[in-house]
Amino acid sequence: MSGKRGNGEGSIYPYKNGFAAYVWATTPTGERKRKYVYGKTRPETHDKWLKLHGEAKKGPVATSSPTLAQYLAYWLRDVVKPELKPKTAETYAMHVRLYIVPGIGHKRLDKLTVRDVRTWLNKLMDECQCCAQGKDVKRPKDEQKCCALGDCCAQVPSRRTVQDARAVLRSALTHAMTEELIPRNVAGLVKVRSARKRKREPWSVEEARTFLEAARTAADPMYAAYVLVLVLGFRRGEVLGLTWKSVNLDAGEITAQHQLQRIDRRLVHGETKTEASTATLPLPEICVTALRLRQKVQESARKAAGELWSDLDFVFTTRTGTPIDPRNFNRQFANRSAKAGVRRIRLHDTRHTCGSLLAALDVHPRVAMQILRHSKIAVTMEVYTHIPTPDTRKALKKLGKHLGPQDPV
């Protein structure tokens, strides 16, 4: 075939082992640049050239495309970090670092296909992450125990992890579409079978009472924290982020408005999980009693620490007044459960325990939703309507009375 341009083609010309063509297009940044297409034959190149002409007429066209890894780095830095909560941004970055970039980060953003995403997900579901991330290899020689020694531990990610990794990629590609860098979201076209939800078995009323009585009898410094998570359904971060400024024992009220989280290796005191999580709740007697006891314990610790005390106003602190690391609270809860002789459950499952307790006590689901501060009514399986404060007080007093100590603290 000759290298002469056909009538009306204008910008199609021989190039290496085939042909090339270009169209002047407006980029997403407003600049006028050439966009090139290539093909092995003139007709193939001509078809691509016509398609490119059509795209250029419709709107901006990206004249160059980054790799997926390059785009994700920009997305995390300039979109996710400024717009989302720190813990969410950290989670997104973790999925990008551990799963997405190692798997398909080398692919060009505009060349990423449905097949690429499906192949990556299928591989991820069967790939040992200890091998892929070099977990065992990074350990000291005398501590290596599996993959580094040729004995693969088959530490494959859970289906939920695979779902989350795909969701992060889909979110990033959705943003790339809004920036007109790609025409469609290929991650949204790939389906992942839903993971089975684990059946939780929260404590019964008797187990919860046994646990609280054991903590009270042992003078556990975190007794009041356990009361709050069981009776009011406080989350771990909400308990550890609670300040005395948010507690009014005389009025019998408490406000959940902050949480303490470990993010990027540092403790961050920020807003609660959702807007619905921020609320002022009435305190049942068991909570008031426990918090007054906590005041006395903390005052003794303050005097003992002297100048070493950090006056940060946290309700639950170390012996020197500094906030308690969330992971340490998990360990304390597990140890207390073992000493109390009750089944070991996750600390977060205490919220399920609280919900079960409220249901067992015939508390209306809408009242339970207000107490637990769920962001969605579907969580408590009832259409939400405003519940007057007296009803909420009645529900909490009923629960507090059922779990409260049988003798004064």
pLDDT > 50? residue 1: no
* Type and span of the H or E element at 255: strand 253-256
Cβ atoms within 10 Å, residue 96 = 23
CB 19 within 8 A of CB 12: yes
Nearest-angstrom CA–CA distance, 41 and 253 = 77
Among 51-55, 175-179, 215-219, 232-236, whose mean pLDDT is lowest? 51-55
Q: What residues have CB less than 8 Å from 326, skipping those under 6 apart?
A: 236, 237, 240, 260, 261, 262
Per CATH, which fold does 205-403 belong to?
hpI Integrase; Chain A (1.10.443)
For the segment 175-201, the average pLDDT, to the nearest whole number, is 84
| Distance in angstroms (rounded) separating the CA atoms of residues 1 and 291 | 88
Look at residue 309 and tell me whether its pLDDT is greater than 80.
yes
The domains of the chain are located at 12-58, 68-189, 205-403
Q: Class of 68-189 per CATH?
A: mainly alpha
Question: pLDDT grade, residue 264 (50/70/90)?
Answer: confident
Residue 187 confidence (pLDDT) above 70 = yes
Is residue 150 over pLDDT 90?
no
How confident is the prediction for the chain on average, in pLDDT?
Answer: 84
Stronger pLDDT, 7 or 50, i.e. the higher one? 50
Using the predicted structure, report yes or no on whether residue 176 has a pLDDT greater than 90: yes
Residue 264 three-state SS: coil
Task: Assess whether pLDDT exceeds 70 at residue 405.
Answer: no
SS3 30: coil
Rg over CA atoms, the chain: 29
Average pLDDT over residues 253-273: 85
pTM score of the predicted model: 0.68
What average pLDDT score do residues 382-399 get? 51
Higher pLDDT, 394 or 407: 394
Q: Are 221 and 317 in contact (CB under 8 A)?
A: no
pLDDT tens digit sequence for 232-257: 889 899 999 999 999 999 998 898 88
Q: Quote the pLDDT of residue 114.
A: 95
Question: Residue 54 pLDDT > 50, yes or no?
Answer: yes
Picking from 37-41, 104-108, 192-196, 348-352, which range would have the lowest pLDDT averaged per residue?
Answer: 192-196
- Mean pLDDT lowest among 242-246, 261-265, 398-402: 398-402
Counting DSSP H helices and E strands in the chain, the numbers are: 16, 8
Q: Is 58 helix (H, G, I), strand (E, B) or coil?
A: helix
Give the pLDDT score at 276: 58
Higher pLDDT, 397 or 38: 38
Mean pLDDT of 12-39: 84
Residue 71 per-residue DSSP state: H
65 pLDDT more than 90: no
| 258-263 and 279-282 strand pairing | unpaired
Q: What would the mean pLDDT of 373-389 be, rounded to a whole number?
A: 52
pLDDT score of 355: 75
pLDDT band at 149 (very low <50, low <70, confident <90, very high): confident
User: Does position 38 have pLDDT exceeding 80, yes or no?
Assistant: yes
User: Quick check: 385 pLDDT over 50?
Assistant: no
**Residue 300 above 50 pLDDT?**
yes
Average pLDDT over residues 251-278: 82
